[in-house]
Structure 1
Amino acid sequence: MMKPVVEGRMLQALELAATDNVLEIGTGSGFITACLARLAGHVTSLDIHAEFTATARAALRAAGCDNAEAITTEAVREFAPAQRYDAIAVTGAVATLPQRWLGWLKPGGRLFVVQGRAPAMQATLLRVAAGTTEILFETDLPYLQHAAPVPRFVL
């Protein structure tokens, strides 16, 4: 779970517009999904845990967020989007960025992700059109399922 200050920095860094189509990887409670829905045109949120997406759907309905959907799927290896996105918000850490996620962005798209190894992971913003990667700050965040570092054999 992200700390509120990290959530806020992520929302600022993505520079969302009211017309943006956003993908969130890691639905959780649906709180960030609702925040994204207030700032963007449409939000598709993915989580591997069915109970999280069910809870988030109910919370989004109660909050009147009719421009957001929560889908139960595995985003690191399995999900195949039918469209491209203006922005991707990843709410769990990854040891290394899955390169296929970059292909899910429209030209000019932005991707926020926390990557690296604990305890000093890097919150990073990638901009596709500019081909830039900006390290925003250091933080520590639990890994997404299937995104943790591969254990190494050490003698």
Structure 2
Amino acid sequence: MEMELNKDTLKNQRDSRAWSQTQLAEVSGLSLRTIQRVEKTGVASQETAKSLAAVYECSITELVAKNQLPRVEGKFAFSKMSPKAKVIHLLVLLPALSVAFYLYWIGHNATAWVDILRDSVFSSSISDDRQDKISFLIVALVVGLPSLVPGYIYDYINKQCAFD
């Protein structure tokens, strides 16, 4: 996995030790060409970043470019769904969420589980306004997450990109 390191931080670390790129290559066990490339582009493998962090006695996160923290995506990331699967997700999500919110808003007894769940997890000393927001989030999660399933089933059946 390639990482984008902060070029200025790398150069400042090396300069603070008064090392040349050749000296850094010797100390780190990396090739001179690798040092030159990383300082020029900021792109490094994880192993290179680990070596540099060890030599500079800092963590890798201190060397990573601020705007480029590694992005981790799971096997079932929404961004990996095919366009048709995303449409299916929205076609299931919007009506289901609308009905769930309406039933909760009118206080229908079918949504009593939301308050029970909220009260069992959160303190009763929370303000009413905050309790309403927590209930809203519970409904959104409980209805929203399962609505992803039809899209993934579509991708699975059609061998689309969701399971690459």
* Class of the TM-score when normalised by the shorter of the 2 chains: under 0.3
Higher helix share: 2
TM-score (norm 1): 0.24
Higher relative contact order, chain-length normalized (CA < 8 Å, sep 6+): 2
User: Highest Rg: 1 or 2?
Assistant: 2
